[in-house]
Amino acid sequence: MLDISALRVGYGQGDVLTDVSFGLPKGVSGCLLGRNGAGKSTVMRSIMGFLRPSAGEIRFGNESIVGRTPDRVARSGIGYVPEDRAIFPNLSVEENLRVTRPCGPQPMDLAGIYDLFPILAERRRQAAGTLSGGEQQLLSVGRALMGGPSLLLLDEPSEGLAPLVIRSLGDDIRRLRQAGLTILLAEQNIEFARSVSDVVFVLDRGQICFQGTFDELERDPDLKHRHLFVGHVKSKVA
């Protein structure tokens, strides 16, 4: 469903991704793991068309989507929940949901979203800025689903949320996966990633340095240490 090959992308001063290749079959949930600054969000922004790769290919379905504008990528069927959630704090929950035009392969309406996430129905008239962090995350996911995506990109959905809220978000993501949605998430929280993903791609130094299952990753402590944990420990000390 999603096929990325030899992707090279940067922000002007050197490349952040030098040679990223991985693929995600339909209905599979995959996770990009990597330290802070590894380039996880850069991969997502490239898929969405916010960044223009200098080399490589991104295929979705059977088409190349490199060079498409973000709204065209969205209309092709890719939903995007960015790192900062991009909620409009002064608009109501319902107005935030209406920002996305139902247009993708499986468009959803407000009733469908409220069915999936009843808390959003309860809060429909409330200003989005007054929601809790977990509720804002659900709102951002709900807004992406309004577009009727067949692939959903979730950029660090668990970030800043309390453990109980993360658990409930995990339940929601697993329900979406069971409903047949293909999911790509970026995470630094390995336990959470493991609870919602089938396959893992570890991003380091501009490339995917490991891909496989979480069990395979667990069997290689050295790999985890080198590519994931070292940065974690350092950033906690700093």
State which amino acid sits at residue 37: G
User: Do 56 and 2 touch, CB atoms closer than 8 A?
Assistant: no
SS3 212: strand
* SS3 (DSSP) at 145: helix
- Which x/- pattern over 32-61 shows residues binding ligand ADP (rule: CB under 6 A)? --x-xxxxxxx-------------------
What sign results for the dihedral spanned by CA atoms 70, 186, 220, 9? positive
Distance CA 16, CA 203 (A): 11
Q: Which of 43, 1, 35 is nearest to 19 (CA)?
A: 43
How large is the angle between the packed helices 133-146 and 163-178, nearest 10 degrees? 20
Nearest residue (CB) to Mg ion, 40 versus 194: 40
CB of 58 to ligand ADP, least distance (A): 16
Q: Based on CB atoms, which residue is closest to ligand ADP, 13 or 62?
A: 13
Q: Which is nearer to ligand ADP, 135 or 187 (CB)?
A: 187
Q: Which two tokens stand for residue 129?
A: 């800025």
Does residue 85 bind ligand ADP (CB under 6 A)? no
Q: Which does 217 bind (CB under 5 to 8 A by kind): ligand ADP, Mg ion, none?
A: none
- Terminal Cα distance for the chain, rounded: 40
Q: Is 158 in the site for ligand ADP (CB under 6 A)?
A: no
* Closer to ligand ADP by Cβ: residue 100 or 188: 188
As measured in angstroms, the least distance from the Cβ of 32 to Mg ion is: 9
Interaction between residue 41 and Mg ion (CB under 5 A): yes
Q: Applying CB under 6 A, does 79 fall inside the site for ligand ADP?
A: no
Q: Which residues bind Mg ion (CB under 5 A)?
A: 40-41, 83
Q: Which residues contact ligand ADP by CB under 6 A?
A: 11, 16, 34, 36-42
